[in-house]
């Protein structure tokens, strides 16, 4: 099938590359000329395990190309995927200007009947709007149908998720378009769930809202565990054994970040509000997440008092491991607060430092390694559970730090390990380990 994918951000690029890998003839369109050059040379602008290898392979096998020439990009496409961003507006709602812009481009360059697939996360009703924009501009010269096909991939395992996801959701009103999309996706070998367009749009928001709710829920249980001297790790495990609850997404920490949960939860509250429904539960989930991001600072102040002049090491800046993405990372709020309170911050992240420099600019100094970051530090805050962090031998901390004080926002170590290493260890939802205890 001849497919065009518009937008080579996270979702568009992974979608385009993976559709080529299952045998489709894919052209990815992006307006950024430099990015297109980079992509055509087989280089990925984002860090994503396995992506570049697949890109190179499919470019070589001539199933994948990138262009900023719209005429060429849309030419002959039987299916067009819209995968441009829907960033958050100031009021929390989704900014649909990129999606609408693409709809206008499609109308301008369309020369045959086509199926337009909306991959971008969009409020309920947007697919209809996209179809209306196109139809109003092409004057019924061609037959266009719309299919909603939300994306559920996780950053850091996007390629793996695309081939091993739990479901592919396609929402359509036109049965032929639905069948075509089913055929397009069949080679992935993943169960396909078919529904109407509006329900499909809602499935995406509801799924992300539910997962975010699980995280805020377990974080609050962790905070209560701390007060009651219970251990959240065991509480999560014990809860997760109930299949109705499930074991995933019950890791307590410093809250969710990234490009989806913060944006999509706010958008859903906003969509509900516009329709005169107060989504109280989700509003609380968002509020809990904001406070959870700063919980390490409370622990730090409890231990060190005033932070002015204190040297604080940060391990990890990305919103989660295996990504260089800094969007909405808890590290941003934490670092800004540390600086505001007069601390000196030395940070290390194996992948996200370059992106962090754009977000945090001069506020922070950057180290060259995990050990480099803790040299002479008064305390260490762990913000991302990178494997190198989890595998670090805690006893070595003494060689580097001014005081062996660790405040772990991701529960990377067993309490016993900390006890044996003779360090002070404060984590989330677990009893503290103080020296000699
Ligand atoms: C998420 C959804 O999982 C994906 O389906 C959707 O398409 C996009 O949003 P992503 O943002 O890549 O994917 O990351 P994910 O692995 O889901 O983690 C999101 C955030 O939640 C991270 O900050 C992570 O640290 C946090 N998290 C996750 C927890 O704090 N605890 C958990 O148990 C799980």
Q: Which atom of ligand 1 is nearest to the CA of 251?
A: 33
Q: Give me the phi and psi of 195, to 5 degrees please.
A: -155, -175
Q: Do domains 204-291 and 294-426 have the same CATH topology?
A: no
Q: Is 107 helix (H, G, I), strand (E, B) or coil?
A: helix
Closest C-alpha residue for ligand 1 atom 27: 256
Structural fold of domain 204-291:
1.10.1040
Q: Which atom of ligand 1 is nearest to the CA of 255?
A: 30
| Structural tokens at position 82 | 């819209």
Pocket of ligand 1 (CB under 6 A): 151-155, 208, 211, 215, 249-251, 253, 256-258, 260-261, 319-320
Class assignment of domain 294-426? Answer: alpha beta
Closest C-alpha residue for ligand 1 atom 19: 256
Closest C-alpha residue for ligand 1 atom 3: 154
Predicted pLDDT at 88 = 87
The Cα 194–Cα 219 span in angstroms is 34
Class assignment of domain 2-195? Answer: alpha beta
Distance 400 CA to ligand 1 centre (A): 32
The interface predicted TM-score (ipTM) is: 0.96
Closest C-alpha residue for ligand 1 atom 20: 256
| Structural tokens at position 325 | 């993405």
Q: Are strands 114-118 and 405-408 parallel, antiparallel or unpaired?
A: unpaired
Burial class (CB in 10 A: 0-12, 13-18, 19+), 273: middle
Identify how many contiguous H helices and E strands the chain contains and give both numbers.
Answer: 19, 14
Distance 338 CA to ligand 1 centre (A): 25
Residue 289 makes CB contacts below 8 A (sequence gap 6+) with 212, 215, 216, 219, 255, 256, 262
**Residue of 253, 325, 329, 408 with the most ligand 1 atoms within 8 Å of its CB, for mutation:** 253
Q: Which atom of ligand 1 is nearest to the CA of 207?
A: 5
The Cα 219–Cα 211 span in angstroms is 12
Predicted pLDDT at 437 = 54
β-sheet bridge partners, residue 148:
118, 171
Distance 154 CA to ligand 1 centre (A): 7
**Residue of 203, 214, 256 with the most ligand 1 atoms within 8 Å of its CB, for mutation:** 256
β-sheet bridge partners, residue 64:
26
Predicted pLDDT at 436 = 66
Residue numbers annotated as active site: 260
Q: Is the dihedral of CA 30, 183, 132, 10 positive or negative?
A: negative
Distance 39 CA to ligand 1 centre (A): 27
Q: Is 79 helix (H, G, I), strand (E, B) or coil?
A: strand
Q: Which atom of ligand 1 is nearest to the CA of 250?
A: 33
Closest C-alpha residue for ligand 1 atom 28: 249
Distance 257 CA to ligand 1 centre (A): 7
Q: Which atom of ligand 1 is nearest to the CA of 151?
A: 7
Domain segments of the chain: what residues? 2-195, 204-291, 294-426
Q: Which atom of ligand 1 is nearest to the CA of 152?
A: 7
**Residue of 206, 211, 288 with the most ligand 1 atoms within 8 Å of its CB, for mutation:** 211
Distance 31 CA to ligand 1 centre (A): 29
Q: Is 326 helix (H, G, I), strand (E, B) or coil?
A: coil
**Residue of 154, 158, 204 with the most ligand 1 atoms within 8 Å of its CB, for mutation:** 154
Predicted pLDDT at 92 = 85
Distance 259 CA to ligand 1 centre (A): 9
Closest C-alpha residue for ligand 1 atom 6: 152
Distance 130 CA to ligand 1 centre (A): 29
Query: 371: phi > 0 → left, psi -120 to 50 → alpha, else beta; which?
Result: alpha
Q: Is 124 helix (H, G, I), strand (E, B) or coil?
A: coil
Q: For helices 295-304 and 280-293, give the axis angle rounded to 10 degrees.
A: 30
**DSSP helix, strand, coil percent of the chain (3-state; round to 5):** 45, 15, 40
Written as tens digits, the pLDDT of the chain (437 aa) is: 999 999 999 999 999 999 999 999 999 999 999 999 999 999 999 889 999 999 999 999 999 999 999 999 999 999 999 999 999 899 888 899 999 999 999 999 999 999 999 999 999 999 999 999 999 999 889 999 999 999 999 998 999 999 999 999 999 999 999 999 999 999 999 999 999 999 999 999 999 999 999 999 999 999 999 999 999 999 999 999 999 999 999 999 999 999 899 999 999 999 999 999 999 999 999 999 999 999 999 999 999 999 999 999 999 999 999 888 999 999 999 999 999 999 999 999 999 999 999 998 777 999 999 999 999 999 999 999 999 999 999 999 999 999 999 999 999 999 999 999 999 999 999 999 998 65
Closest C-alpha residue for ligand 1 atom 10: 154
């Amino acid at each position: 099938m001849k497919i065009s994918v518009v937008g080579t951000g996270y979702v568009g690029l992974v979608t385009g590359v993976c559709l080529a890998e299952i045998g489709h003839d894919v052209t990815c369109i992006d307006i950024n000329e430099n990015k297109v050059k980079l992509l055509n040379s087989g280089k990925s602008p984002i860090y994503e395990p396995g992506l570049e290898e697949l890109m190179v392979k499919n470019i070589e096998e001539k199933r994948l190309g990138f262009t900023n020439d719209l005429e060429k990009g849309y030419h002959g496409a039987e299916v067009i995927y819209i995968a441009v961003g829907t960033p958050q507006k100031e009021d929390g709602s989704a900014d649909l200007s990129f999606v609408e812009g693409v709809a206008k481009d499609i109308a301008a360059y369309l020369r045959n009947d086509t199926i337009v697939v909306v991959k971008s996360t969009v409020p309920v009703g947007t697919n209809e709007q996209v179809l209306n924009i196109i139809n109003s501009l092409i004057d019924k010269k061609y037959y266009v149908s719309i299919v909603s096909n939300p994306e559920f991939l996780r950053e850091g395992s996007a390629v793996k998720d695309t081939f091993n996801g739990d479901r592919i959701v396609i929402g359509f009103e036109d049965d032929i378009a639905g069948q075509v999309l089913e055929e397009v996706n069949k080679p992935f070998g993943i169960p396909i769930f078919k529904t109407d367009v509006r329900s499909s749009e809602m499935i995406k928001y509801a799924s992300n809202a539910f997962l975010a709710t699980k995280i805020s829920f377990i974080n609050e249980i962790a905070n209560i565990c701390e007060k009651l001297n219970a251990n959240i790790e065991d509480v999560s495990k014990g809860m997760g054994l109930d299949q109705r609850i499930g074991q995933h997404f019950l890791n307590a920490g410093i809250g969710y970040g990234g490009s989806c949960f913060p944006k999509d939860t706010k958008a859903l509250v906003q969509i509900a509000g516009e329709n005169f429904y107060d989504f109280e539960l989700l509003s609380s989930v968002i509020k809990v997440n904001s406070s959870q991001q700063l919980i390490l600072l409370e622990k730090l102040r409890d231990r060190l008092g005033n932070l002015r002049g204190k040297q604080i090491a940060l391990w990890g800046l990305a919103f989660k491991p295996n990504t260089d993405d800094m969007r909405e990372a808890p590290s941003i709020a934490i670092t800004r607060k540390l600086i505001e309170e007069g601390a000196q911050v030395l940070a290390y992240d194996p992948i996200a430092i370059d992106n962090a420099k754009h977000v945090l600019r001069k506020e922070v100094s950057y180290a060259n390694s995990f050990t480099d970051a803790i040299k002479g530090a008064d305390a260490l805050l762990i913000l991302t559970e990178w494997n190198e962090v989890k595998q670090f031998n805690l006893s070595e901390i003494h060689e580097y730090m001014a005081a062996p004080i660790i405040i772990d926002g991701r529960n990377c170590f067993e309490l016993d390990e900390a006890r044996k290493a003779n360090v002070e260890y404060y984590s989330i939802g677990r009893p503290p380990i103080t020296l000699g205890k």
